[in-house]
Amino acid sequence: MKRNFSSFLIGLPLVLGLSSAVVAQDVDPCKTDMGHPGNGTTVNYNQTGSISGTPWGYEIWFDGGNNSMTYYSNGTFKASWSGSNDFLARVGYRYGDNGPGIDHNDYQFTVDYSYKKQSQSAGYGYIGVYGWTVNPQVEYYIVDDWYSQPNEQYIGEKFGEITVDGAKYTIHAFLRQEEPSKTGTSTFLQIFSVRQTPRQCGHIDISAHFKKWDEVFTGQTAQLRGSKGGGSATLKFGKVTEVMLMNEAGGNASGSVDYTYFNMSDNGKPSEIVPPKDIPRQPYKGVKAKIPGTIEAENFDEGNEGVTYAGATGSSGSDGLDYRGEDYFIDIVGCGDGACLGYTAANEWLEYTVDVLESGEYDIEAYVSNGSGSGTVELALDGKALVSLPFTGTADDWNTYESATGKASLTAGEHVLRVTIATANTNLDYVKFTLPGYTPPAEDPSAIAATLRLNAVGKTYQVFDMQGRTLGQVDVVKGSSISEALFSKFQKTGLYIVKQGSFIQKVKVSR
């Protein structure tokens, strides 16, 4: 991605240590609209300059298309772009593109922001904090939102994590080889902090990311993928030359953005580093998956990252939040009539507590898509390798799925199944276990009815579909049955799972 590499210096931000609190901190930017004073200044060509009366500068840069940026005296700005190969608009501190830079430890950088984006389409794009360092030369991003989900193909491998501002970010590094940079064509390191749940407003403790990068990278040398193949780089964050709130969109991009709240400070209040919530481990919704049967990929066990799942690049947004909640940093996307895992990283894994009903040799099918090419899904049981399931790939199409198949022998009883997605960018819908000749045990209708009558009246039940997805809840009143309450609530026949405390039961609703 190209950048503006002018050596233009902005005067005011070069006064190091300048207090930049233009509006009061402790204001919630998600509930406050600063507005745009006056008519603002509009530019529609590549330009860098200062915003009069503030410590900040602005920059607009683009490659192709019709584009413009309007900035205002309080630091807020808006921009629009159409048919652009790459478009950037940003406001913040500049300390000289090729100057000595500043030691970030002498400052406490923060930014509070709020924006709206409209009609956006882009092959890639990042929204958040952006800048460069020297000695060594590093291009860095703190990504709070995006136009296309960041993945390791473009942001590099994961090197660590930080929990700050109440959210989790993953840290990545990528080597750019002989690419345009501040000093012309050169080889330089890119560093990314990527928020695992995107947002359009809030507070970023920028210095917390700088300090974490120092902890993770300093003194390490790693083999990194680059735009021209592999290579190695010293993982070190240098002297800062700019800290800016940025909007970038590229890949024949069109859209607009409007920042209605902006306050960047170099002496702000640091955020509290919050440890992750402790989530007790249990099967998803308390229901063990049955084998023979189908295990929905998104229904992995409840628990913390590193315990029931690991290696995920992050939540893809509302699909993941709606399904698993904000405590899970996992990519869940829509597929067919349900949900699948998506945007996966190489060797991402998930675990499922399963109940194998009968011993035997099983036919196993993983239903997958990967437009990038061929790969494998690896299964293990109780820590021991079980089977490798190869697939051929789906030719640049993630909406078409194929079966990756194999066989393995299982013994009856409770086990922990680990599914490892060995190949990055593999969408996984489900893993199905079939035992030839198996006949499920018959259920005793009278016993089920008696249990339901005993437990039903005057209670509220959680309701799930047969894949374990939450549908809601029902109240069973006197004179009614669970099946009648289900039909009244959902107006559909079929099989449901109901749960109240330790009581879990499958209920058939018919009319």
Active-site residues, by number, are: 139, 248
Which residues have C-beta within 8 Å of that of residue 86, sequence separation ≥ 6? Answer: 1, 2, 61, 62, 63, 64, 248, 249, 250, 253
Tokens 């942001």 sit on residue: 155
The amino acid sitting at 178 is E
Q: Are strands 293-296 and 360-369 parallel, antiparallel or unpaired?
A: unpaired
> Are 265 and 20 spatial neighbours (Cβ–Cβ below 8 Å)?
yes
Distance CA 165, CA 76 (A): 22
Q: Are strands 184-195 and 138-146 parallel, antiparallel or unpaired?
A: parallel
DSSP annotation string for 96-147: -TTS--B-GGG-B-EEEEEEEEEEEE-SEEEEEEEEEEETTTEEEEEEEEES
Distance CA 61, CA 85 (A): 11
Q: Rounded to 5, what percent of the chain is helix, strand, coil?
A: 10, 50, 40
Nearest Cα neighbor of 276 from 306, 245, 237 is 306
On the CB side of 306, how many CA atoms lie within 13 Å of its CA? 6
DSSP annotation string for 29-82: TTT------SS-EEE-SSEEEE-TTSS-EEEEEEESSEEEEEE-TTS-EEEEEE
The token pair at 117 is 């984006």
Nearest Cα neighbor of 128 from 250, 249, 46 is 249
Distance CA 376, CA 393 (A): 10
On the CB side of 64, how many CA atoms lie within 13 Å of its CA? 12
